[in-house]
Amino acid sequence: MTTTLDSAATALATEESVRDLVIRWRRHLHQHPELSFHEERTAQFVAETLASFGNLDISRPTPTSVVARLSGARPGPVLAMRADIDALPIEERNSHEFVSRNAGVMHACGHDGHTAMLLGAAKVLTGIRDELAGEIRFIFQHAEELDPGGAEELVNAGVLDGVDMIIGAHLWLPMPYGQVGVRSGALMAAPDNFRITISGSGGHAAIPHETIDSIAIAAQVITNLQHIVARNVDPLGSAVVSVTRIAGGTMYNIIPGRVELAGTVRTFDPALRDRVPELMQRIIGGVTAAHGASFTFEYDRGYRPVHNDERATDLLRRAVVRALGSDVLVDATPTMGGEDFSAYQQKVPGSFFFIGARNEEKGIVNPHHHECFDVDERALDSGTRIFVAAAREMLGE
Ligand code: NI
């Protein structure tokens, strides 16, 4: 009787301290953000913190990533859990006491929290390894924010060898704290980007008939590109074609000979993803030819879409309910944002999910990549608990 109460109390105390540790780790990482592919101190911190737990086989597959393996008491399935660790080139404008100390660099997407909550899960799970059959592989991935991304590099380095399933989370400002969004199928889009140059022939603005006006033609190209989403994409499907940059000209009385455009394309459906650049090429070619101009068109394919496996998503649903109860579970709304978690999903079944981190009352409302981005830190504990519960679901009992 006493023993049961004691161990329950110990368990509770341990859990409480892990929750505090996770917040402390997150704040430390927040103060010391590092850009993609340059996460030297972050990786060092992660590796040292993991080493302090004991029982983990820690490796550094690339210079700024860390992988830790936890073997259970008996053989069994291998579950991988991933956190991204990189920050963004943004000057932070928050005023809390753990504001970034690295000028021009900020954890403005929540990856500091992802890292901290996965460290928390590693700490809890190393403590209960005797109850687990199988292996848990904790992947602390560099460079999620910068194409071609760290995930592909880690897959090529073999970090998924022998893995049966992978899960990963994003702290999510579009959702309030207290909700966890899970979804099978398409969740995040393929973020591709493009550059177009339109070359006409410059001249005096008062003598337009002796020029080929690249600005007027660029305007028509932009307008016609809207036709793709409006008229070429199934209304029940979805795509984004956004021209986000236009550059050309120097002065009010000069028609420039050249205009540069750039932008992004977002799709979920692989067939549509292939088709959009073909349609763009046809439109740009047609409009420029109609007006006697020429063009170049470069199209870069970014990350693949995040498409969640049904079995892995079922595991997540069970984990969320086990960790936090069924009230928090919601159907995640897909987003046109991209994520290189998709690189792992090419290799093994995986599911990516969203942990609500918005809090209107506390003023935690700014979107991802905003200079005043923040998260409701209570969401970190939710993440830790879900990762632990997923391990228990797959490797426990
Ligand atoms: Ni992110």
Q: What residue spans in the chain does CATH classification 3.30.70.360 cover?
A: 190-300
The percent of residues above 90 in pLDDT, for the chain, comes to 95
Q: Assess whether 39 carries a catalytic annotation.
A: no
Closest CA to 140 of 80, 70, 83: 83
Closest CA to 355 of 167, 190, 189: 167
Give the distance (Å) from ligand 1 centre to CA of residue 196.
28
How far, rounded to the nearest angstrom, does the alpha carbon of residue 96 sit from its chain's CA centroid?
A: 24
Report the chain's mean pLDDT, rounded to a whole number.
95
What is residue 160's DSSP assignment? T
Which pLDDT value is given to residue 5? 44
pTM of the model: 0.90
Q: What residue spans in the chain does CATH classification 3.40.630.10 cover?
A: 2-188+306-395
pLDDT greater than 50 at residue 368: yes
pLDDT in tens, 86-117: 999 999 999 999 999 999 999 999 999 999 99
Give the distance (Å) from ligand 1 centre to CA of residue 339.
7
Architecture of domain 2-188+306-395: 3-Layer(aba) Sandwich (3.40)
Which pLDDT value is given to residue 12? 53
* 173, 75 Cβ separation under 8 angstroms: no
pLDDT in tens, 309-346: 999 999 999 999 999 999 999 999 999 999 999 999 99
What is the average pLDDT across 5-16?
Answer: 52
Residues with CB under 5 A from ligand 1 (ion): 109
pLDDT greater than 90 at residue 2: no
Give the distance (Å) from ligand 1 centre to CA of residue 114.
9
Give the distance (Å) from ligand 1 centre to CA of residue 111.
6
Which pLDDT value is given to residue 153? 98
Closest CA to 390 of 356, 359, 355: 355
Q: How far apart are CA 30 and CA 41, in angstroms?
A: 12
Which pLDDT value is given to residue 306? 98
pLDDT greater than 60 at residue 11: no
Helix (H) / strand (E) containing 16: helix 2-31
Closest CA to 383 of 361, 360, 362, 354: 354
pLDDT band of residue 46 (cuts 50, 70, 90) is very high
What is the average pLDDT across 176-191?
Answer: 98
pLDDT greater than 70 at residue 7: no
Which pLDDT value is given to residue 15? 56
Give the distance (Å) from ligand 1 centre to CA of residue 172.
9
pLDDT band of residue 10 (cuts 50, 70, 90) is low
User: Of residues 34, 84, 86, 269, which has the active-site annotation?
Assistant: 86
106-123 in b/e form (b: 16+ CB < 10 A) is bbbbbbbbbbbbbbbbbb
Give the distance (Å) from ligand 1 centre to CA of residue 151.
13
Which pLDDT value is given to residue 39? 98
| 345, β-bridge pairs | none
Give the distance (Å) from ligand 1 centre to CA of residue 171.
8
CATH of 190-300, one of 3.40.50.2000, 3.30.70.360, 1.20.58.220, 2.30.30.140: 3.30.70.360
What is the average pLDDT across 260-285?
Answer: 97
| 391, β-bridge pairs | none
pLDDT greater than 80 at residue 354: yes
pLDDT in tens, 200-232: 999 999 999 999 999 999 999 999 999 999 999
pLDDT greater than 70 at residue 295: yes
Q: Assess whether 144 carries a catalytic annotation.
A: yes
What are the φ and ψ backbone dihedral angles of 282, each rounded to 5 degrees? -65, -45
User: Of residues 144, 153, 269, 309, which has the active-site annotation?
Assistant: 144
pLDDT in tens, 370-388: 999 999 999 999 999 999 9
Give the distance (Å) from ligand 1 centre to CA of residue 360.
21
Give the distance (Å) from ligand 1 centre to CA of residue 131.
33
**Cα dihedral sign for 282, 284, 287, 291?**
negative
What is the average pLDDT across 277-295?
Answer: 98
Write out the E strands in 21-114.
56-59, 66-71, 74-84
